[in-house]
Amino acid sequence: MNRVTRPFHQSDLQILVNDLAPLYGDRIHLSQAVREQHGQGEDSYGCMPPDVVIYPFCTEEVAQIVRLCHQYHIPVIPYGTGTSVEGHLLATQGGVCLDLSEMDQIVEINPQDMDCRVQAGVTREELNKALRYDGLFFPIDPGANASIGGMASTRASGTNAVRYGTMREAVLGLTVVTPQGEIIRTGTRARKSAAGYDLTRMYVGAEGTLGVITEVQLRLHPVPEQIRSAVCSFENLEGAVYTVIEAMQAAIPMARIELLNNLQMKACIKYSKLEGFAEAPTLFLEFHGSPVGVQEQIDLFEEIAGSNGGTQFRWADNTEDRNALWTARHNAYFAAQSLKPGAKAITTDVCVPISRLADCILAAEEAAKESDLLCPIVGHVGDGNFHLLIVFNPADCDELEAARKLSAKVVEGALAVGGTCTGEHGIGSGKKEYLRTEHGNAVEIMATLKRALDPNNIMNPGKVLDI
Amino acid sequence: MNRVTRPFHQSDLQILVNDLAPLYGDRIHLSQAVREQHGQGEDSYGCMPPDVVIYPFCTEEVAQIVRLCHQYHIPVIPYGTGTSVEGHLLATQGGVCLDLSEMDQIVEINPQDMDCRVQAGVTREELNKALRYDGLFFPIDPGANASIGGMASTRASGTNAVRYGTMREAVLGLTVVTPQGEIIRTGTRARKSAAGYDLTRMYVGAEGTLGVITEVQLRLHPVPEQIRSAVCSFENLEGAVYTVIEAMQAAIPMARIELLNNLQMKACIKYSKLEGFAEAPTLFLEFHGSPVGVQEQIDLFEEIAGSNGGTQFRWADNTEDRNALWTARHNAYFAAQSLKPGAKAITTDVCVPISRLADCILAAEEAAKESDLLCPIVGHVGDGNFHLLIVFNPADCDELEAARKLSAKVVEGALAVGGTCTGEHGIGSGKKEYLRTEHGNAVEIMATLKRALDPNNIMNPGKVLDI
């Protein structure tokens, strides 16, 4: 971990705090406990606390704070729910952390247009609660109950992306505070537009390095008439993966299709107390549609799965059983960690062309075996995205080193077949070295954008790019 | 129209031509006929010819030419099939037109991954011809048989966008030649990625002002098991629009849902010799899916249409009838022009939230009536996108003036309800004044990008932004 080198004068930070204190009162925090809580995500990169944490209520307050930070060259780190996993929250140069959790207003819901506008701090579960009377839902679910602003910033996806897309497709427009403290709006309420450069997509996935997202316009979807979930075990991993490929080619509109390997199933069975499941490669499935349409999807899927060694379909048709199933899936990361007392996990996040998925997963399993580390695998396989959860003892330097080597090997394998080092977690502090391998000289274009929009490098410095 | 002011010395252009002549031979054109052909699109902005037209074969040749243009500050205008409609091809500062039609190689098709990579000059019809043995198709169809590079550059869409999205969703990655003549690759072959800034989406829709797109990686779709097309007439326009809104809310996965108003139907019946159709507000429809699924969609749609005054469903089930139907739809622009001998048409391209669509179309019809101009309306109404085709006599200055005023009025109406001035045609030379009204100070961010990436303003100057 790099040492903190602050690009600003402590006295300027003091001026900023004094200026804001009368306006923000107890929404400004300088205590070590609050700062430490905000200097880390749910990852193994440790903690680098910011110098001050402020809780703004609205876009105008964010702009006011950022204008002062701009004046004094003080870094700004936007914070949603703290559930990112690539060292996004490390205050590598100190500065001001903007905790947006008080910006939790749902600005509007438009049932006819199936869209809504929310403040950045609204979480996906809060949003779905608000939508339940309109027959609509917001499908993106990256496991954690993350904030919409954070999800937009990391271009998050999750288990529904195979059908409903990622935050790239879900975001129709944004309100952003620029590094100079200006407020801009991107996008419109129209479903599509060819008007000028796609600023919305530029800020989605920029990880807070180009500005602070304060409001998000989202596309919503009608709640399907019928939802059916199931799990299906396979004799071997290839069978499970070929089932996925064939289902996609047959245009079955899968809502969810998730793979767990033997070890991940073992971990989930124990952690989530699943009964009657086999420690075998398993697909977790969900079908959305009309009753007739869902039945047709299921018939076709069962035929494909059967021809690839799939057996033991278990259906979860009531809401309770379905929630238990998907909660177990979402807890895969914690289940993995629980395989070894006191352990942490590094999660890889490669995404590859689906034709190369079986090869890449088998190679990852082989590399894991060689490393002697426990490495369950879970994946959004409809997208070609899988996570090797490398479990290691954080007190053991050799294990950490081996875990990092293994992670690098999995990434190199993915890049070699035209894949990406990160499907949904982002680059953060942890994957910067891979960005250039993946994108070559296109990284210079990214650096040009960053320098042009944030010449003083105050927006979440040290993430995505070192400039 | 502005006069041509060249930012370079004629002698430098001569050096460039002399340098390239031995390498490109008869692929360099200086004749007035070829230059004039390349100085206009299918619009009413007239012609401003480039100084020279070159036909490169590959990305490396494009880079070679652009490096020389960069050296001498000579403008570069990429050209696909010349079917753009917002003055994108006007050589307002002279320069080199790169006609990419010889870059017509399909680089690879990956049936398992349902993606492909093509050179920018491949047209959408050529691509679909190449895909027919793999059971795949490329759904984006902006009427004209445009090139994939041009479609990416204008963020094109068309009749299938309601289900399959626009070029924003279809493009997985690009090869781009930068204004400095560097070759970069954006995106990967993975379906999704959270690795760094979304350069792909930045170049898609940039209208050639940030670089030359030379190759495109595209997402493909399986050919549906069954395709059924139909038309349905309505008593009034509101009934047709409410049918669209209710069908979307009922989550019917419409493949196409297009509206033609009375006057447009009159024009199409005459121009395309359609028999037995009424001069009434009409929806052109297409359903994709399994036989059971398609029937279910149709049953539900007929119920919705019936409750909104929809009658006279006419089905086109064989390929010939279906093609006739959609050819008539795609010829709507020419049908409109044929309403008045010797006429031209200005096409508006607003896109609005679907809840405001009926109001906006009715207001446009009313404004058209007041203007005394013939104005058929056709629209991709599932997206909220409609075109008022304003037919006018190009020799009559008063009519041109009235047509422009009417166009402005329609755009103002769309912006007032949160819509966009262009859903799929782009800004080009013609809609720059609306870009600021629509995006306010966010246009400054667009200008910052343009200045950072193309500091000499050589890439298609005078389009999108005046900087």
- Average pLDDT of span B262-275: 94
pLDDT tens across B67-99, in order?
Answer: 999 999 999 999 999 999 999 999 999 999 999
Selection from A409, A341, A405, A345 nearest residue A378 by Cα: A345
Residues A210, A459 contacting (CB under 8 angstroms):
yes
Distances, alpha carbon A118 to alpha carbons A80, A149, A153, A209, in Å = 13, 9, 14, 21
pLDDT tens across A152-163, in order?
Answer: 999 999 999 999
User: Are B198 and A201 a contacting pair at CB < 8 A?
Assistant: yes
Residues A451, A467 contacting (CB under 8 angstroms):
yes
A467 pLDDT band, cuts 50/70/90, is: confident
pLDDT attached to residue A309: 96
Query: If 0-12 CB within 10 Å is exposed, 13-18 middle and 19+ buried, where does residue A359 land?
Result: middle
A276 pLDDT band, cuts 50/70/90, is: confident
> For residue A275, is pLDDT > 90?
no
Q: Which two tokens stand for residue A31?
A: 């205590």
Mutate to test the interface with B, among A193, A355, A446, A460 (most CBs of B within 10 A): A193
Q: How far, in Å, CA of A386 to CA of A253, rounded?
A: 20
Name chain B contacts of A417, Cβ cutoff 8 Å: 189
pLDDT attached to residue A116: 98
- Average pLDDT of span B223-245: 94
Q: Which two tokens stand for residue B240?
A: 């047709």
Domains B10-101 and B335-438 alike in fold: no
> For residue A392, is pLDDT > 90?
yes
Query: Pick from A191, A210, A292: which is nearest to B384 by CB?
Result: A191
User: Are A222 and B441 a contacting pair at CB < 8 A?
Assistant: no
Task: Name the residue with higher pLDDT: B245 or B351.
Answer: B351
Secondary element (H or E) of residue A96: strand A96-99
Q: How far is CA B249 from its chain centroid? A: 26
Residues A117, A216 contacting (CB under 8 angstroms):
yes
Q: Which CATH architecture has domain A226-427?
A: 3-Layer(aba) Sandwich (3.40)
pLDDT attached to residue A2: 54
Assigned CATH topology for domain B10-101: 3.30.43
- Fill in the amino acid letter for A414: A
User: Are A351 and B192 a contacting pair at CB < 8 A?
Assistant: yes
Name chain B contacts of A257, Cβ cutoff 8 Å: none
Selection from B69, B50, B76, B58 nearest residue B210 by Cα: B76
What lies within 8 Å, CB to CB, of A308 at 6+ separation is: A234, A238, A239, A240, A242, A243, A246
Distances, alpha carbon A27 to alpha carbons A57, A58, A98, in Å = 9, 13, 10
Assigned CATH topology for domain B226-330: Alpha-Beta Plaits (3.30.70)
Q: Which two tokens stand for residue B177?
A: 């030649």
pLDDT attached to residue B4: 85
Q: How far, in Å, CA of A315 to CA of A299, rounded?
A: 13
Selection from B453, B202, B375 nearest residue A447 by Cα: B453
Query: Pick from B197, B245, B251: which is nearest to A205 by CB?
Result: B197
> For residue A291, is pLDDT > 70?
yes
Report helix, strand or coil for A257.
strand
Q: How far, in Å, CA of B83 to CA of A292, rounded?
A: 43
Q: How far is CA B444 from its chain centroid? A: 25
Q: How far, in Å, CA of A449 to CA of A440, rounded?
A: 16
What are the structural domain ranges in chain B? 10-101, 103-222, 226-330, 335-438
Backbone angles phi, psi at A374, to 5 degrees: -80, 125
Q: Which CATH architecture has domain A103-222?
A: 2-Layer Sandwich (3.30)
> Which of A61-65, B127-131, B196-200, B292-296 is predicted least confidently?
B292-296
User: B48: distance to nearest CA of chain A, Å?
Assistant: 22
pLDDT tens across B433-464, in order?
Answer: 999 999 999 999 999 999 999 999 999 999 99
What percent of chain B lies above the pLDDT cut of 70? 100
User: Are A194 and B440 a contacting pair at CB < 8 A?
Assistant: no
pLDDT attached to residue B44: 86
> For residue B2, is pLDDT > 60?
no
- The ipTM, to two decimals, is 0.97
- Average pLDDT of span A58-84: 98
Q: Which two tokens stand for residue B457?
A: 């303003």
Q: How far, in Å, CA of A382 to CA of A250, rounded?
A: 13
Residues B43, B84 contacting (CB under 8 angstroms):
yes
User: Are B224 and A178 a contacting pair at CB < 8 A?
Assistant: no
Q: How far is CA A16 from its chain centroid? A: 32
Name chain B contacts of A111, Cβ cutoff 8 Å: 249
Mutate to test the interface with A, among B193, B210, B446, B467 (most CBs of A within 10 A): B193
Query: Pick from A205, A417, A439: which is nearest to B194 by CB?
Result: A205
Residues A56, A45 contacting (CB under 8 angstroms):
no
- Average pLDDT of span A258-270: 96
Name chain B contacts of A161, Cβ cutoff 8 Å: 192
Selection from A33, A149, A169, A30 nearest residue A84 by Cα: A149
B124 pLDDT band, cuts 50/70/90, is: very high
Mutate to test the interface with A, among B131, B171, B192, B243 (most CBs of A within 10 A): B192
Distances, alpha carbon B286 to alpha carbons A11, B160, B227, in Å = 67, 9, 7
pLDDT attached to residue B402: 96
pLDDT tens across B286-320, in order?
Answer: 999 999 999 999 999 999 999 999 987 899 888 89
Report helix, strand or coil for A71.
helix
Q: Which CATH architecture has domain B335-438?
A: 2-Layer Sandwich (3.30)
Report helix, strand or coil for A218.
strand
Mutate to test the interface with A, among B137, B188, B257, B297 (most CBs of A within 10 A): B188
> For residue B365, is pLDDT > 70?
yes
Q: Which two tokens stand for residue B169?
A: 């969703």
pLDDT attached to residue B265: 96
pLDDT attached to residue B235: 94
User: What is the average pLDDT value for chain A, to the nearest integer?
Assistant: 95
Beta strands at A282-289 and A226-234: parallel, antiparallel or unpaired: antiparallel
